[in-house]
Chain A
Amino acid sequence: IVLTQSPGILSLSPGERATLSCRASQSVSSRYLAWYQQKPGQAPRLLIYGASNRATGIPDRFSASGSGTDFTLTVSRLEPEDFAVYYCQQYDSSPYSFGQGTKLEIK
């Protein structure tokens, strides 16, 4: 399953709303779609699992939804610490592919 994320780069200002997309080449069970955040020099961190469930400690400004082949991650009001790279991953079927990432940068 190929995951295609868009846009590749998203330039926004703190306080704005960010919407990131992840499209799968074939249907993915929503139980098996995750989003990760990665900051420079750090390991990825789990944000969302099961397409819409926030991981432990993730603030509620992060939300996600989707089913089938289209999934979305939304950050309602960007904080300075949210500027990072975001990856979606499917773990429905092997190989457990990642999207290529969306870089969320400060405008």
Chain B
Amino acid sequence: EVQLVESGGVVVQPGGSLTLSCAASGFNFDVYNMHWVRQAPGKGLEWVSHIRWDGGSTDYADSVKGRFTISRDNRENSLYLQMSSLRREDSALYYCAKAAWGGDLDHWGQGTLVTVSS
């Protein structure tokens, strides 16, 4: 059974930094692309970032480019999102999602909540 478990969400001050983690199990993590998607309270889904299976290619939403860094450790079956220069508008539930071979997001974690507030 595919499992994705996010962690690391906390309350952080504006301008602060944070790293989210996603522990993957139940599939061959090292051959699948992975994504981060976020959802502000009461709002819709916003795609944040993507990383290729080998870590050799990454993409970011314009809203986080230059501030967030996605990475992965295939030996540890883990996905990460380093977040810096955090803004109030970054407050959201952050989901880790696995991409199927076709690119659709076929499995999602339950999310970890990031709150940016002073």
Nearest A-chain residue to B96, judged by Cβ:
A43
Stretch from A10-18, A45-53, A71-79 contacting the other chain: A45-53
Bound-state CA distance A38–B62 (Å) is: 25
Question: Interface residues of B, CB < 8 Å — how many?
Answer: 24
Which chain A residue lies CB-closest to B111? A43
Q: Is the CB of B62 within 8 A of A44?
A: no
A69 to chain B, nearest CB (A): 19
CB closest residue in chain A, given B48: A95
A15 to B7: give the CA distance in the assembly, Å.
Answer: 40
Known: A95-B59, A95-B61. A34 touches B46 (CB 8 A): no
- How many chain A residues touch B (CB < 8 A): the figure is 24
Known: A43-B95, A43-B111. A98 touches B45 (CB 8 A): yes
Among candidates B35, B102, B109, residue contacting A96 with C-beta atoms closer than 8 Å: B35
Complex partner residue of A100 from B44, B106, B108, CB under 8 angstroms: B44
With A43-B95, A87-B45, A101-B44 given, is the CB distance from A94 to B105 under 8 Å? no
- Footprint of A on B, CB under 8 Å? 35, 37, 44-47, 50, 59-62, 95, 99-100, 102-111
- State the A residues within 8 Å of B (CB): 31-32, 34, 36, 38, 43-46, 49-50, 55, 85, 87, 89, 91, 94-101
